[in-house]
Amino acid sequence: MGTPVLSNPCTVVIKAPTSPTVDIARQELESHWSLGSRVSLVLNKKLRLGEGYRIIAKRKGTSYEAAVHASRPIGLLYGAYDLLRMQNSGTLALHGSHANTAVDKVERPVFPTRMLNHWDNLDGSIERGYAGKSIWKWEQISNGTMTETLRSRIQQYAAANASLGINASVLNNVNASPKMLTREYLDKVKLIADILRPYGITTYLSINFATPMALGDTKTADPLDKDVAKWWKKKAKEVYSLIPDFGGFLVKANSEGQPGPGDYQRTHAEGANMLADAVKSYGGKIIWRSFVYGANHKNEDRVKQSLSEFKPMDGKFRPNVILQSKNGPLDFQPREPFAPIFMHLKKTPQYGELQITQEYLGQSKHLVYLAPMWKEFFSFVHPSLMQGIAAVANIGDDANWCGHPFSQANWYAFGRLAWNPELSSEEIADEWLRQTFSMPDEAIATMKSVMMESREACVNYMMPLGLHHIFKFDHHYGPEPDGFKADYPLEWCPVYYHRADSIGVGFDRTVATGSGATAQYPEPYASEYDNIATCPEEYLLWFHHVPWTYRMKSGKTLWQELCDKYNAGVATVRNHRYIWHYKMKPYVDAERWQHVDTLLNHQLDNAREWRNVCLDYFQTFSKLPVE
Ligand code: GCV
């Protein structure tokens, strides 16, 4: 996301009506484009490019002639950022072997909605946030103004997102405070929305389903109660009078203690539809999360519950309701099979929900590049099954935004994949590295392999072969395979998930002897996952309870393979730490080098801890030697 500072600003020729968005595009190019003295921005509605753009750039002698054509101002801005990305990642350059002498390309985003979900609370804390406090400094906004520091930070946030094509932002936590919808806060939200708008970002809010009752305006939050419906209509009118292009509400209902229609024996569809009616005339959307468990399907395998709950409701939602589901059926684990809900609901628009903040992947302490994980998801769930893609942000008020210097690559990768899920993880890593560090090609190649190996390494040192959710309670950082608390829901306890005993380990989800979760998958996956002989080994212990001495494809026993995977995970981190420590110092400024070096040392300690704690614990059941 870094850009070089220019000594000779270029001239931006604008063939478009003036607009704040075009103005930003002009300013960005004037300040950062250094490969030519002229760039044209041409708006032509007839091009029908939607949010997309066409870039034509040609090297002539010692500079490029470049033009961006688009049918909307936002297309010009996206095109301007793409030109800068090509410049800063060396795709366009006046020297060097990577550079293209001519480019003529058309770009259109694949997902219509490309959204960040902030889990930011009004008190400035962030649920699962590891990069400082919330960037929305609510206390710095009052009487229709905000501090200049805050305005500038929000502008930088908007520019960073627009440079990736992210076009929607939900400002607050899905565990939402009813206060969010008070006039006091809506006035503040309006000011933020005004800053985000010219960058093509639509503002959304998460809501607490019981808001009218919690604020003392109604006696109930029952969605079929007339006063409640009236309250929401009035509130929608108020919101849209302040923010005419407001996107809509994101709702976590009847999940992990949040209120919802179920509190009044109403269905999710009844709850969502009441809200959908309130925002419909303004073009608003209700994004309803399918992340529910423990209410209506108490004794069912947790990974089955969301589909069991929502499948019967397919076709019962208003057209402006979207169901948003996490990529896997459980909860953002380092590796999960895909969530089958995406294939089953045929009449309900759906968004996928990814998690950029590394709640279960070492938080902001581990270098784990997430693009390969998200590509894995898209390889099963075709992007055409989703109208949008959302991701839980990893952004905070730390100077470097995301805590770990390499965590920024995950924000970057999400935006790039939301624009084009066909991009490869390597391409994205390459782009990011070249824009973030000034390294020679060999060092870029080395760090690219570090990034590419990092997610598999994390799976290996935390939960290989399909193990899942054996994290320490509450903070979800370290290992706690023996975790069990009688006063907690069983679905929060690690022992519920690995089911280790003297025979073997793993959750039997087969149809014949287990929970039958395999049957929720479409063919060929259902049969493949159900049969221990054909189940991919990376999902083995997710779907099967496997004897310790079971022969794996490698010829080793399960126990041996488990030990080898844990060791491999640790060895990869050790190597990554070695590479950074001994090879990267010349190419990175002292502060960032030191920061990453310290974090990699820490990650190596953690990886060893994971391996030792897990193998020691599982050995009490397998009774086999750890090599
Ligand atoms: C916002 C997991 C997290 C919770 C989060 C929840 C959700 O359970 O640990 O912090 O709550 O998912 O996605 O709603």
525 assigned to some structural domain: no
* Residue 590 shares a structural domain with residue 553: yes
Say which residue the tokens 């370290």 belong to: 478
256 catalytic per annotation: yes
User: Read out DSSP for 308-350?
Assistant: HHHGGGTT-S-TTEEEEEESSSSSS-SS-PPPTHHHH-SSS-E
314 catalytic per annotation: no
Tell if the pTM clears 0.95, that is, is over it.
yes
**5 has a pLDDT exceeding 80:** no
Q: Give the tens place of pLDDT for each residue, 559-597.
A: 999 999 999 999 999 999 999 999 999 999 999 999 999
* Residue 328 shares a structural domain with residue 228: yes
* Residue 594 shares a structural domain with residue 562: yes
* Residue 40 shares a structural domain with residue 79: yes
Q: Give the tens place of pLDDT for each residue, 117-165.
A: 999 999 999 999 999 999 999 999 999 999 999 999 999 999 999 999 9
* Residue 620 shares a structural domain with residue 478: yes
CB atoms inside a 10 Å sphere around CB 26:
21
* Residue 463 shares a structural domain with residue 365: no
72 assigned to some structural domain: yes
Here the CATH number for the domain that contains residue 555 is 3.90.1330.10
* Residue 248 shares a structural domain with residue 372: yes
* Residue 406 shares a structural domain with residue 453: no
Q: Give the tens place of pLDDT for each residue, 288-312.
A: 999 999 888 989 999 999 999 999 9
Long-range contacts of 186-190 (CB under 8 A, 24+ apart): 186/238, 186/239, 186/242, 187/141, 187/144, 187/242, 188/138, 188/141, 188/142, 188/146, 189/242, 189/243, 190/242, 190/243
Among 128, 252, 289, which is best to mutate for testing ligand 1, by the most ligand atoms less than 8 A from CB? 128
Query: b or e along 260-272 (b: 16 or more beta carbons within 10 Å of the residue's beta carbon)?
Result: bbbbbebbbbbbb
Among 170, 331, 353, which is best to mutate for testing ligand 1, by the most ligand atoms less than 8 A from CB? 331
Q: Give the tens place of pLDDT for each residue, 392-417.
A: 999 999 999 999 999 999 999 999 99
Nearest Cα residue to atom 2 of ligand 1: 331
User: Residues lining ligand 1, judged by CB closer than 6 Å?
Assistant: 119, 127-128, 174-175, 252, 256, 291, 331
244 Cα: distance to centroid of ligand 1 (angstroms): 30
Distance separating alpha carbons of residues 415 and 116, to the nearest angstrom = 9
359 catalytic per annotation: yes
* Residue 213 shares a structural domain with residue 333: yes
Residues sharing a CB contact under 8 Å with residue 194, sequence separation 6 or more, in sequence order = none
Among 256, 293, 477, 493, which is best to mutate for testing ligand 1, by the most ligand atoms less than 8 A from CB? 256
Single out the residue in 107, 135, 166 at which a domain terminates. 107
Written in H, E and C, the secondary structure of 6-24 is CCCCCEEEEECCCCHHHHH
- The active-site residue out of 187, 194, 217, 256 is 256
Q: Give the tens place of pLDDT for each residue, 192-243.
A: 999 999 999 999 999 999 999 999 999 999 999 999 999 999 999 999 999 9
* Residue 22 shares a structural domain with residue 124: no
Distance separating alpha carbons of residues 55 and 197, to the nearest angstrom = 23
* Residue 357 shares a structural domain with residue 497: no
* Residue 79 shares a structural domain with residue 179: no
List the domain range (segments joined by +) for residue 46: 11-107
Q: What is the number of structural domains in the chain?
A: 3
